[in-house]
Amino acid sequence: MSDMKRIVTIAAASFMASPAFAASGPFFSLKNTDFVVLLGFIVFIGVLLYFKVPSMLTGLLDKRAEGIKSEIEEAKALREEAQALLASYERRQREVQEQADRIIAHAKDEAVLAGEQARADLEKSIARRLAAAEDQIASAQASAVKDVRDRAIAVAIKAARDVVAKQMTAKDAAKSIDNAIAEVGQKLH
């Protein structure tokens, strides 16, 4: 009904302000075009009111407003869901970053331990090689001393043979050979 009052008020205002009041002759005549236009307008408004067009328009506008309101609420819900999802992804990213940091720290610790182990293994290897080299040097030195001693003995035997050969007579040599044969015979039996 409030729509009806507004329409009537608008029609009355337009009636009062119409140029028909300024025209000559009777206003309420079908020959007056202003009166005919006014009657057509009032009939048009009546038809609109009869078919409840204002309430239909209001209903359509209300439905549209409700649709917009529901879309806004849905958008708010989607926004909240997106924010929750973003927070979840940010939390997961922090967790993954922390895990990566722990893995890197662990790898660094293992690398330091592996470096220390390699250094210790290298020191042991160097110590073994030094010991082996010292053993080889000692062996070579002992071999050289033995070679020198054997050589000295061979030279001494040769010199003694030469001296004995020069000083020994044939009779002494035969006696020495007989004694050696007898000694070898006793040792073999």
Q: Are 34 and 21 in contact (CB under 8 A)?
A: no
pLDDT given at position 20: 47
pLDDT at 13: 57
Name the least confident of 59-63, 136-140, 145-149. Answer: 145-149
Q: What is the rounded average pLDDT for all residues in the chain? A: 83
User: What gap in Å lies between CA 77 and CA 39, rounded to an integer?
Assistant: 53
Dist. CA 152–CA 147, nearest whole Å: 8
Q: C-alpha 21: how far from its chain's center?
A: 87
Q: Over the stretch 104-121, which tens digit does the pLDDT of each residue have?
A: 999 999 999 999 999 999
Distance CA 36, CA 41 (A): 9
Question: What's the average model confidence in pLDDT over 129-156?
Answer: 85
Q: Among 42, 54, 76, 69, which Cα is nearest to 1's?
A: 54
Percent of the chain with pLDDT over 70: 84
pTM to 2 decimal places: 0.38
